[in-house]
Amino acid sequence: MREERRLVWRVLRHWRGIANRGRVPRRDDIEPWLLGEDGRNCLLVAVQSPIELSHFLLVGVNLAVALCATDTLAGVLLSHVPRVVSTRRALMIEGSAMLRKEGILYRGILLPLSEDGVVIDQVLGATNYRSLREDEAPMRQVVFRTQWV
């Protein structure tokens, strides 16, 4: 089988392989993405109650500068965590955001994790992106498409 070049699809395939066996993956199931080369574009969110207290546990180096404003890549991913937790499903999002003061187009995925198989206690995020080309105008709307997977 040909190796998938896109990070989001590699991580999703691994998560689905575990979820298709009837359980929500645990953090140790996804540890390779957090420690390997792909971890540079991954983040991990601790889910808290109330959900507004959820926070980053781990942010890959390529996303580390994007932690504050809601129009940054990490902030956009964090804003969708409540939807993932309430539905217990993976969510793919695409859109534009800012990263290191530069406009980008991105595709990201948020994947629920559970240590006990019942309560969603963490969410894994993985994203890949590219800079906007000179002939592409930044989008006014930060997220322009979401899709349940």
Q: Is residue 2 part of a domain?
A: no
Domain annotation covers residue 29: yes
Domain presence at residue 127: yes
1 inside domain: no
CA-nearest of 47, 43, 21 to 30 is 43
Average pLDDT, the chain: 83
Q: For residue 143, name the pLDDT band (cuts at 50, 70, 90).
A: low
Average pLDDT over residues 24-40: 86
Residue 67 pLDDT exceeds 60? no
User: Domains in the chain: how many in total?
Assistant: 1
Residues in the chain: 149
Instruction: Please tell me the pTM assigned to this model.
Output: 0.84
Task: Please check whether residue 58 lies inside any domain of the structure.
Answer: yes
Q: What's 112's domain CATH number? A: 3.30.450
Least-confidence region, from 29-38, 43-52, 136-145: 136-145
Query: In which domain, by residue range, is 28 found?
Result: 7-148
Give the rounded percent of residues in the chain with a pLDDT score beyond 70.
Answer: 84
82-116 pLDDT per residue, tens: 999 999 999 999 887 777 677 888 899 999 999 99
